[in-house]
Structure 1
Amino acid sequence: MRSEVVQFAVNGTLMRGLELNGNLLAVGAIFTRETTTEPTYRLWSIQNRHPAMLRVSRGGAAIAVEIWAVPMAGLGQILLQEPPGLCIGKIRLSDGEMVLGVLGEPVLCQNQLEITHWGGWRNYIAQGSAVQASV
């Protein structure tokens, strides 16, 4: 019997080569592509350890994401290993496709540094702005 898979958008430490990418690989996820969200999201750095992305009604931007094909049975395991305050929700991509992905709870972003203008977590950490954990 073939396992069902879902297209899953990640925007932070689950991305290739970053700290929690092994959590995707451990459930048999396969990298599909890089893309961006539609321009209705904002991004925050949570204590310079990981990002949190929220959909907003105004002032949003396109955020860089990776799309992974994830076995449905592995989604719960991935979520349980995410930092507190992150959740799985629906994300609209720049091409209009709707996929599941990692979002932040609004309360998590309160009093945190907004990094939307960087366009994504990789751009933010590439500038030495965040603590990048070893792979």
Structure 2
Amino acid sequence: MRGLRAHARLTGAGAVFLGEVQTAPVFRLWSIEDRFPGMMRAEAGGASIAAELYAIPHAGFAAVLESEPDGLCVGRVALADGTSPLGVLAEPRLVQGREEITAHGGWRAYLRAKGIHPL
């Protein structure tokens, strides 16, 4: 995400920021040790989550995924506008026992609420 510690991986892979988006209200969000978020599609209790949309060349997308922490994977992210681009989602094992932060509505809002400086 723009301005956060892993953003350089995106720009280094040729990613172009397209805009801020909201997911469809079908996701839940967890903090993974306050280092990065993990988002999963929910069977129940989902919410709309603030996110960012990027255009990334295929080779760059592969490079970004290879550098992601273990437990993150590629999946379709349903957006509020009805589109479903590829994105990074969490595997169930990654979020087990982690702090659920869905009520904050997004990673940046969670970091602000906790007074965490993300860089």
Per the shorter chain, which TM-score range?
A: over 0.9
What's the offset of the Cα at 1:128? 2.6
Output the CA distance in 2 between the equivalents of 1:27 and 1:60.
31
Q: Give the number of equivalent residue pairs.
A: 119
Could you tell me which amino acid in structure 1 is paired with residue 75 of structure 2? G
- Per residue, is there more helix in 1 or in 2? 2
TM-score by length of 2: 0.96
Deviation string, structure 1 residues 15-63 (Cα, Å, up to 9, x no partner): 0000000011001110001011000000000111111000012100000
Output the CA distance in 1 between the equivalents of 2:68 and 2:95.
15
Which consecutive residues of structure 1, in runs of 5 or more, have no partner in the other structure? 1-14
Could you tell me which amino acid in structure 2 is paired with residue 50 of structure 1? F
Output the CA distance in 2 between the equivalents of 1:84 and 1:131.
23
What's the offset of the Cα at 1:129? 5.2
Q: Is the Cα–Cα contact under 8 Å of residues 88 and 102 in structure 1 kept in the other structure?
A: yes
Alignment of 1:1-135 (within 5 A): 15-128=1-114, 130=116, 132=118, 134=119
What's the offset of the Cα at 1:66? 0.3
What's the offset of the Cα at 1:131? 6.1
State the 4+ residue runs in structure 1 displaced beyond 2 angstroms.
Answer: 128-132
- Per residue, is there more strand in 1 or in 2? 1
CA RMSD, 1 decimal: 1.1
Output the CA distance in 2 between the equivalents of 1:131 and 1:123.
12
Could you tell me which amino acid in structure 1 is paired with residue 69 of structure 2? P
Aligned pair in 2 of structure 1 residues 111, 131: CA closer, same or farther (>3 Å)? Answer: farther
TM-score by length of 1: 0.85
Which consecutive residues of structure 2, in runs of 5 or more, have no partner in the other structure? none
Secondary structure of 1:33's aligned partner: strand
Q: Identical aligned pairs, as a percentage? A: 47
